[in-house]
Protein backbone atom coordinates (compact mmCIF):
# COMPACT_ATOMS: atom_id res chain seq x y z
CA UNK A 1 0.00 0.00 0.00
CA UNK A 2 2.76 2.57 0.68
CA UNK A 3 4.06 2.02 -2.85
CA UNK A 4 0.70 3.02 -4.29
CA UNK A 5 0.54 6.16 -2.14
CA UNK A 6 4.07 7.23 -3.12
CA UNK A 7 3.28 6.61 -6.78
CA UNK A 8 0.09 8.67 -6.59
CA UNK A 9 1.95 11.57 -4.95
CA UNK A 10 4.66 11.53 -7.62
CA UNK A 11 2.16 11.32 -10.48
CA UNK A 12 0.17 14.15 -8.92
CA UNK A 13 3.31 16.24 -8.64
CA UNK A 14 4.20 15.65 -12.27
CA UNK A 15 0.67 16.49 -13.40
CA UNK A 16 0.71 19.68 -11.33
CA UNK A 17 4.26 21.01 -11.61
CA UNK A 18 5.19 20.21 -15.23
CA UNK A 19 2.60 22.51 -16.87
CA UNK A 20 3.21 25.24 -14.28
CA UNK A 21 6.93 25.11 -15.00
CA UNK A 22 6.28 25.29 -18.74
CA UNK A 23 3.94 28.25 -18.29
CA UNK A 24 6.42 30.18 -16.15
CA UNK A 25 9.15 29.61 -18.71
CA UNK A 26 6.93 30.49 -21.68
CA UNK A 27 5.77 33.72 -20.07
CA UNK A 28 9.40 34.85 -19.92
CA UNK A 29 10.26 33.87 -23.50
CA UNK A 30 11.64 30.40 -22.88
CA UNK A 31 10.61 27.18 -24.61
CA UNK A 32 7.44 25.75 -23.07
CA UNK A 33 8.12 22.17 -24.16
CA UNK A 34 11.71 22.13 -22.99
CA UNK A 35 10.71 23.32 -19.53
CA UNK A 36 7.67 21.04 -19.53
CA UNK A 37 10.07 18.12 -20.09
CA UNK A 38 12.25 19.33 -17.25
CA UNK A 39 9.12 19.49 -15.10
CA UNK A 40 8.39 15.88 -15.95
CA UNK A 41 11.90 14.80 -14.94
CA UNK A 42 12.28 16.98 -11.84
CA UNK A 43 8.77 17.90 -10.72
CA UNK A 44 9.55 19.66 -7.43
CA UNK A 45 12.86 21.26 -8.32
CA UNK A 46 12.09 22.50 -11.83
CA UNK A 47 9.52 25.11 -10.84
CA UNK A 48 12.00 26.85 -8.57
CA UNK A 49 14.65 26.77 -11.30
CA UNK A 50 12.19 28.29 -13.80
CA UNK A 51 11.32 31.09 -11.38
CA UNK A 52 15.01 31.76 -10.72
CA UNK A 53 15.82 31.91 -14.45
CA UNK A 54 12.86 34.23 -15.08
CA UNK A 55 13.88 36.63 -12.30
CA UNK A 56 17.51 36.56 -13.42
CA UNK A 57 16.61 37.38 -17.02
CA UNK A 58 14.28 40.17 -15.90
CA UNK A 59 17.01 41.72 -13.74
CA UNK A 60 19.51 41.48 -16.60
CA UNK A 61 17.03 43.20 -18.93
CA UNK A 62 16.43 46.00 -16.42
CA UNK A 63 20.17 46.45 -15.98
CA UNK A 64 20.69 46.67 -19.76
CA UNK A 65 17.87 49.22 -20.19
CA UNK A 66 17.78 51.38 -17.04
CA UNK A 67 15.77 54.19 -18.69
CA UNK A 68 12.70 52.06 -19.44
CA UNK A 69 9.78 52.54 -17.02
CA UNK A 70 8.99 49.62 -14.74
CA UNK A 71 5.55 47.99 -15.23
* pLDDT-based confidence at residue 45 (cuts at 50, 70, 90): confident
Kindly report whether the global pTM for this prediction surpasses the value 0.85.
no
C-alpha 9: how far from chain center: 19
3-class DSSP assignment, residue 70: coil
Does residue 30 sit in helix, strand or coil? coil
Q: How many CA atoms lie within 13 A of 18 on its CB side?
A: 15
Q: What is the pLDDT of residues 1-38, one digit of tens each?
A: 798 998 998 888 888 889 999 998 898 888 999 999 99
Give the pLDDT of residue 70: 60
Amino acid sequence: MPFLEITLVLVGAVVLFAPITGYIAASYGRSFWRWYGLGLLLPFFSMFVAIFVAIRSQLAEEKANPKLPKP
